[in-house]
Structure 1
Amino acid sequence: MIPCFYQDFDEEIPEQHRTMCKRLYHLWILHAITLAVNLVGCFVWMLGGGGVTNFGMAIIWLILFTPCSYVCWFRPIYKAFKTDSSFNFMAFFFVFMAQVGISIIQCIGIPGWGNCGWLATISFFSYNLWIALLMLIPTLFFTATATLSFIALTKVHNFYRGSGGSIGKAQEEWTTGAWKNPHVQQAAQQAAMGAATGAMMPDQQYSSNTPQYNDNQM
């Protein structure tokens, strides 16, 4: 069985970028764990009278955003460190800034959005103390995720600008044909396909095996 993704920090990532890349991977793991803990918190919240909507939304957050966050921002930054690709850095910044915004919203905890954030947790203390305390656990997870995500975004941005990267460099990479680099193409295809990256393989095989015809044959 061919895996959808392959990563080897020691073999593929340059030593000077390895620590930062690993920390971003650990941040993605924390994000996934937070969504799982939030699901449990929303389930307890529902049992306490918080409504089914929050629990249903928590399921969607976990199922949808766990694979999408891996594909849409971790894989681009992994490829960016691997190939020194400005285009992948730009893809990471574009998606991860949205990720930071979503993490802040989750931390706030607007009722009906499927997140055990501060607003939802504090307001439930007057109804059921024990359930509110359990809801406080994913709230703290969301707070840690949002804080660490903002710090990570700042550090990667400072590193990229310090290394001479810019939007112009990403545009130059596109216009000069660096976008045709197979590593860059692979990262972009994975981001576009999302969780269904397995469907890429037949398309790639088809494109590589497409017969070529000359004028006489046509």
Structure 2
Amino acid sequence: MSGFDSNPFADPVDVNPFQDASVTQAISRTNESTGEYNPFSAAEMGQYSGTTVPAPATSPSQPAVLPTSVEQSTQATAAAAQANLIKQQEELERKAAELERKEQELQNRTTSRDPNTGAKENNWPPLPKFFPIKPCFYQNFDEEIPEDYRRICKRMYYLWMLHSVTLFLNVLACLAYFTADSSKGVDFGLSILWFILFTPVSFVCWYRPVYKAFRSDSSFSFFFFFFVFFFQVAVYIIQSVGIPSWGNSGWISSISMIGYNLGVAVVMMVVAGFFTVNAVLGVILLKLVHSKYRRTGASFTKAQQEFSQGVLTNRTFQSAAASAATSAAQGAFGTNQEN
């Protein structure tokens, strides 16, 4: 009943929670166990020695990778510098080799010229110096023919060599043909004529024009070559056919000899095969030269201009025209005096 006896309208009594008996007892026990701690007191300072432990150079939480990265960067820079030096050395060696090659070419050009006139000394055909006949032409693919046309020009030269060898073999085959059949002396005689005539004529009439055409990009030389070489291919076809009494060991002549002499027929078939190869290669090279010709920008108009300029500047033509004009003038003057 005491709770009901209290006055509810009276002022409340201030209660301090830290004055509770249990709280006061716990605080007193903590103070007794710990006491007042002074880290700078003489008693506490005496417990430590005078040596000082240095702090670690790096934080344990951060790995020390800086020296490794610096070392790798230095090695990469050194490797790059060494590679650059090697590249520069290779470039210098390449330039030195190029200069040496050009110097050698210049020396070859100097030695290939006539010391008296300074003109290029003829080197084809390559005859010995003691031979009474001297070379008639100058030929140097590396010096005179551009690199784009050098390969096809050499092929034309090889075709001419094959043409000459085939004509020589044709003489031997016709000789065997004549020994097997005495009535075939006409073929043997004509084969000798074809070898003596067509070997130098083919060199002058279609090989040298194509050589000059590639050397100086001459439209006139191109047209002259096409005109002559077209007939040369036709002659190859006729020779491979082997019409009797035409001086050619072709397929017809060789097949006709199978029943009479098999050995002679085989020899003649080999030569007929050579003529066939010449015809096929002639057609192929004619197309290749024509494709190269289309890239050079040559034309029939340029060929006419080159022909007219060449004729007008030719000393032989000029001297012949001058002598003809002088003779005509003298004849007209004499006629006037007689009248």
Structure 2 unaligned segments of length 5 or more: list them: 1-132, 320-339
1:25-64 equivalences under 5 Å are: 25-49=157-181, 51-64=184-197
Q: Does residue 98 of structure 1 match 2:207?
A: no
Structure 2: how far apart are the matches of 1:111 and 1:159? Answer: 38
Task: Report 1:1-218 matches (<5 A).
Answer: 3-49=135-181, 51-175=184-308, 177=309, 179=310
Q: Secondary structure at the match of 1:127?
A: coil
Q: Partners in 2 of 1:156 and 1:181 — Cα distance?
A: 29
User: How far is the alpha carbon of 1:68 from its aligned partner?
Assistant: 0.3
Q: Cα deviation per residue 1:68-106 (whole Å; 9 max; x = unaligned)? A: 000111111111111110001111111111101111100
Residues in 1 aligned to 2:143 and 2:155: alpha-carbon distance in whole angstroms = 17
TM-score in terms of structure 1 length: 0.79
SS at match of 2:249: coil
Q: Which runs of 5+ in 1 are unaligned?
A: 186-202, 208-218
Note the C-alpha offset of 1:20. Answer: 0.7
In structure 1, how many angstroms separate the alpha carbons of the residues matched to 2:234 and 2:269?
A: 20
What SS does the aligned partner of 2:294 have?
helix
- Tell me how many residue pairs correspond in the alignment: 185
Residues 57 and 2 of structure 1: is their aligned pair in 2 closer, same or farther, counting only changes over 3 Å?
Answer: closer
| Larger-gyration structure (1/2) | 2
CA distance in 2, matches of 1:9, 1:125: 45
Q: Deviations over 1:15-63 (max 9, x none)?
A: 1111111110000000000000010000000001051000000000100
Please, what is the CA RMSD of the aligned residues? 2.1
Percent identical across equivalent pairs? 50
Query: Which residue identity lines up with residue 241 of structure 2 in the other structure?
Result: I
Larger RCO of the pair (alpha carbons < 8 Å, separation 6+): 1
Q: CA deviation at 1:168?
A: 2.5
Q: Matches of 2:258 and 2:188 in 1, distance apart?
A: 18
